[in-house]
Structure 1
Amino acid sequence: MTPATAAGPTDGGPARVLSPALSLDASFRHIREAAASRRYVSYGELALASGLSWQAARRRMDPHLYDLCRRATERGWPLLSAIVVDRQSVPHGAMRGRPLIGFARAAERLGRIVGGDAAEFLAEEQQRVFAWAEKERDHVLHA
């Protein structure tokens, strides 16, 4: 069976061969780069960073983001998945519904105290991710 391909970037670049699994290293690099620009990332964009279509990555994304946050927590970093949102939320970063509940539950499983307002916790964590990326801009880091 041959790997699937995805359309190239919107600039008309070449199609990419898609890989079978999400990569923590690729996700980390993509999130760090976006955070350094104070930019939110869509789930689909993060899937493509690992060479996966959104359809192929969809069921794998929640455990993947949890693992990324677990590793970040072990290193004393903020919850990096805070800036990963659905496509419609990329301009502003707000989450609601299932994604917000999932993020808050993951944060609590990792020992964070979310409190009564998950959206406020998310917004604060997003700012922590942006500040972390700025502070670590010139350092070599690995997921």
Structure 2
Amino acid sequence: MSEAGLDPTRSVAAIRTAAGKRRFLSYGDVAEANGVPWNAARRRMDPHLFGICRDATARGWPLLSAVVVDRKSVTHGAMRGRPLIGFARCAERCGRIVGGDAAAFLAEEQERVFAWAREEVGDVVHH
């Protein structure tokens, strides 16, 4: 568990539940799934999601944070600006090649997460 009380197991479970319904979550939804107020979780969210993606990559899973978006993008998932740049940087740090169209990469990865949520029945990421 991180210093902000963000537990990868809880976060992955929330991501799996939402993705299984082809839904997106906000960063605040992830904080709420951990029982942590957004103002306490905000600064730790990026490193928390990176850790989840790093572990997911090691397991051969998609970048699970692809379905965790800014609040304005929850209905459609199409992030823009800073949130999209942050996701692309996370992907590259995990060894993925984003290419010139980060939005298209994000959309493809979101579809991979939706498929993973339907197929994955094993355990969740553990640190």
Deviations 1:5-59 (A, max 9, x none): xxxxxxxxxxxxxx95111010010000111110000110100111101111000
In the TM superposition, structure 1's runs of 4+ consecutive aligned residues that sit over 6 Å from their partners are none
SS of 1:52's partner is coil
Larger relative helix fraction = 2
Separation in 1 of the partners of 2:67 and 2:11? Answer: 12
In structure 1, which of residues 22, 38, 44 is the aligned counterpart of residue 22 of structure 2?
38
In structure 1, which of residues 73, 77, 89 is the aligned counterpart of residue 57 of structure 2?
73
Deviations 1:51-88 (A, max 9, x none): 10111100000000000000000000000000001111
In structure 2, what is the equivalent of residue 107 of structure 1? 91
In structure 1, what is the equivalent of residue 105 of structure 2? 121
State the aligned residue count: 123
**Uncovered stretches (5+) of structure 1, i.e. residues with no partner:** 1-18
In structure 1, what is the equivalent of residue 33 of structure 2? 49
Q: Determine whether 1:92 maps to 2:76.
A: yes
Shift of 1:135: 1.4
Based on CA coordinates, which of the two structures has the bigger radius of gyration?
Answer: 1
Separation in 1 of the partners of 2:63 and 2:19? Answer: 12
Separation in 2 of the partners of 1:20 and 1:98? Answer: 22
Is residue 4–residue 44 contact of structure 2 (8 Å, CA) maintained in 1? no
Q: Determine whether 1:141 maps to 2:119.
A: no
SS of 2:62's partner is coil
- Aligned-residue sequence identity (percent) comes to 67
> Relative contact order, CA 8 A, sep 6+: which one is greater?
2
Separation in 1 of the partners of 2:17 and 2:25? Answer: 10
What's the TM-score once normalised by structure 2's chain length?
0.94
Separation in 2 of the partners of 1:69 and 1:140? Answer: 17
Shift of 1:140: 2.8
Separation in 2 of the partners of 1:133 and 1:85? Answer: 17
What do you get for the CA RMSD once the two structures are aligned? Answer: 1.1
**Uncovered stretches (5+) of structure 2, i.e. residues with no partner:** none
What's the TM-score once normalised by structure 1's chain length?
0.83
Separation in 2 of the partners of 1:44 and 1:132? Answer: 22
